[in-house]
Chains A and B, each alone.
Chain A
């Protein structure tokens, strides 16, 4: 039994049918717990007031925006090396989810920045990097939809994802160099000293778990959709040939 078993679309579909209901329930439960706890039962921060509650949306979505791209990178590599179609389709399925997460991170960040920094937007390194990530996502999705042949679309987008990852990291450093920012350091780290306070920390963990499960559920479901779409295409092509 190895993980490559699930490169078989039928097995993948069977597994995802089994896992998906649980995943949906877990993700909504975690989101509900984290967000309700965070929204109703945490105190205001002494400096940020009630805007600290935005953290339960901003941090998990920003985390998932980056992890979604990373997942696409891994899936692209698997496609290029082992030629498993499910992998390529999973990368395709993850991109719109990543766009949504990036969008949420940008919106909640802007809404938080307005009262705290006195401006919706600053060209701070972190903000700028996220905007660049957003552009990468859009280019990736546009390339998928522009190429007709599914296999070469998978090839080309995989290469774009890999090269894009290198340039995304480069941009991150370039942007850092270009402008020292207002943004605080990472909210989560293993170093207890710099971490956010415990009252905010526990609901945040639930919220992050909820976002992670939601991402997994969405990607599994969308990958299933893509597999069925591919199969339909193949069937219709055969029908045309028989006719």
Chain B
């Protein structure tokens, strides 16, 4: 398992796409927000938390097909399916690798981008916490979507279409935590819900993803 994780990490770093592209896309979304709603600081600071969450979600979405697509093309996936390592574990590891290479940089960068959007001071802490708790759910749900569309020719757009509705609860609670935190309200309620969603998806989604992947590889 550690070997698989290391391999995925190294591949993501060598290929270069992982870190850079997601982060750059996140930055672009953040830059586009003031262009689209106007530069008024008080308006920006009100929507900052939500805009950052949306940007992080989209950046995450963009890189989902890389979880499985390359391994599907070169046949690694078939090897994984027949290896002694349970496919559930392999998928969880791949989701973890995706989280480490794509989502974690976003979490680190989000407070910096928060400055651009005039995020209120108490918001920085809550934004980081909510992203830290919420993004693992995004990665692991994304792995399910990637498994559904693996091997399809027009998979990219379809993947987004399938995964976005599944992201709704995570986004709602995550953005709620950040928003309440930014406004100085108590954010522990939604944070607990967000944690619950993340824990639940980590526990259950690998089984669904593995079942789907077995069907797709059949």
Contact = CB atoms under 8 A, between A and B. Distances in A.
Interface in A97-138: 132, 135-136, 138
Nearest to B153: A146
Interface in B174-218: 176, 190, 193, 197, 205, 208, 211-212, 215-216, 218
A160 B216 contact: no
A143 B165 contact: no
Contact of B148 (A138, A160, A177, A178): A160
B193 A177 contact: yes
B165 A174 contact: no
Central interface residue in A156, A160, A163, by most chain B CB within 10 Å: A163
B162 A143 contact: yes
Nearest to A157: B148
A171 interface: yes
B148 A167 contact: no
B7 to A, nearest CB: 27
Nearest to B196: A170
B81 interface: no
Contacts of A178: 172, 176
B143 to A, nearest CB: 12
B218 A152 contact: yes
A163 B155 CA distance: 19
A10 interface: no
B165 A136 contact: yes
A85 to B, nearest CB: 15
A147 interface: yes
Given A143-B148, A163-B208, A164-B166, A156 B161 contact: no
Central interface residue in B161, B166, B208, by most chain A CB within 10 Å: B166
A163 B90 CA distance: 20
B57 to A, nearest CB: 14
Contact of A175 (B152, B172, B205, B212): B172
B165 A159 contact: no
A163 B168 contact: no
A196 interface: no
Contacts of B193: 174, 177
B165 to A, nearest CB: 4
B154 interface: yes
Contacts of B215: 152, 155-156, 159
24 contacts: A132-B165, A139-B158, A143-B158, A146-B154, A146-B155, A146-B158, A152-B215, A152-B216, A155-B215, A156-B212, A159-B208, A160-B148, A160-B162, A162-B208, A163-B208, A167-B165, A167-B166, A167-B168, A167-B169, A168-B165, A171-B172, A173-B169, A174-B172, A175-B172
Interface of B: 144, 148-149, 152, 154-155, 158, 161-162, 164-166, 168-169, 172-173, 176, 190, 193, 197, 205, 208, 211-212, 215-216, 218
Given A143-B162, A174-B168, 5 more contacts: A135-B161, A156-B212, A156-B216, A159-B148, A177-B190
